[in-house]
Structure 1
Amino acid sequence: MSSLDAVLFDYGMVLSAPRNPQIWSELAGLSGMSEAELERVYWMYRDEYDAGILTGEEFWSNVGASAGATYSPDLLSQMNAGDVRLWGDLNEPMVQWVLQLHRAGIRTGILSNMGDRMSEGLASRFDWIGRFHHTVWSHALKMRKPDPAIYAESASGLGVAPARILFIDDKPENTSAAIAFGMQAIVYKDFDSFTAEMESRGFGDLLRIASSGAR
């Protein structure tokens, strides 16, 4: 049997698919910038948004101000909604596995660097997010991965010893921090390589247990 008691997921590029290029183009149009210019300023302020230093409205206001634009409250609302849709396409194989884990009664959590309007919008859009045993959105704690304290919060919320938690994230610096904290971790690239690594690490039974619904 697996040595794991819980699985902890990042959201972006693990549970979600890559950002939607059509919606990115729409956001650029709303912003009054080229896609390349929006790319630059979007990431300039993203860490502060994810860390809860900026609200969603402040994030987009800063994006606009960097290009000399002032956005109305209605436009800020549209841009926050567009941001949710931007990252709203799902990585269906991973989401289906999550649903299997839930049916099997295996403890699950989310640990994601995410701002307030993003987490609110995604939780409203996808009811399955409410089925996780514990969720940590970075903005709520005013800290981001790879801060060790955010992994401690996730382990405490799950009620599981770190060594018996598998953390899945697309960024090596985040999985390295999880391992340093005492968790087991996998860098997610694609579903086929993920399942192959699960098998090679001795966790393949967790895939099969989840599918069968038996523990």
Structure 2
Amino acid sequence: MPTLRDAVFLLGAPRVRDLPPDIGAEVAFAGRSNAGKSSALNALTGHTGLARVSKTPGRTQQLNVFGLADDRRLIDLPGYGYARVPQALRHTFIALTTEYLERRQSLKGLVLLADIRQGLKTEDHMLLQSRTDIPILVLLSKADKINRGERQRTLREMVKIAPETAYLLPFSAHTGDGLEETRDTVLQWLGLAAADGPT
């Protein structure tokens, strides 16, 4: 049975219609620029260079597809919200992500990354509302940057404003906090493992 370690880069799709056939199962990763999507993908798959990690926000500008066996995929969506990206391009990123979320039938779950120190922003809430028929895991990334008490307080506050379809989890690609639970959840959504967690 495939594992996340089997993930390989397949293609970068500038449009939804350029993606592989809409069959099988895929899990998408979304988030604001510099929220830690690439680091999370690398940690989950155990490949340090699978997704490019950049100190320059806004590097992911297309739908990056990572394939597993049996028509199972991980999709890295364009980062959004970076102020230095031209406004027209920012709208393009949001439109591309929204179109993907609305049209893709093989999407089984969404992982949304949000810096735990910044919370959920307007664009994050828009994405959380875009698909209410699939489970959503919100990874509160960079959780190692604050102490445990502050982490729990932030989590309690964010749970109050997040939609019921979302499950929030403090996460750190650096320390591994939340990594196993995230991996189990993604495998479950892809039909590769049975696991407890958000369904």
TM over 0.5: no
Taking structure 2 as the reference length, the TM-score comes to: 0.36
Is the radius of gyration larger for structure 1 or structure 2? 1
Taking structure 1 as the reference length, the TM-score comes to: 0.34
Higher strand share: 2
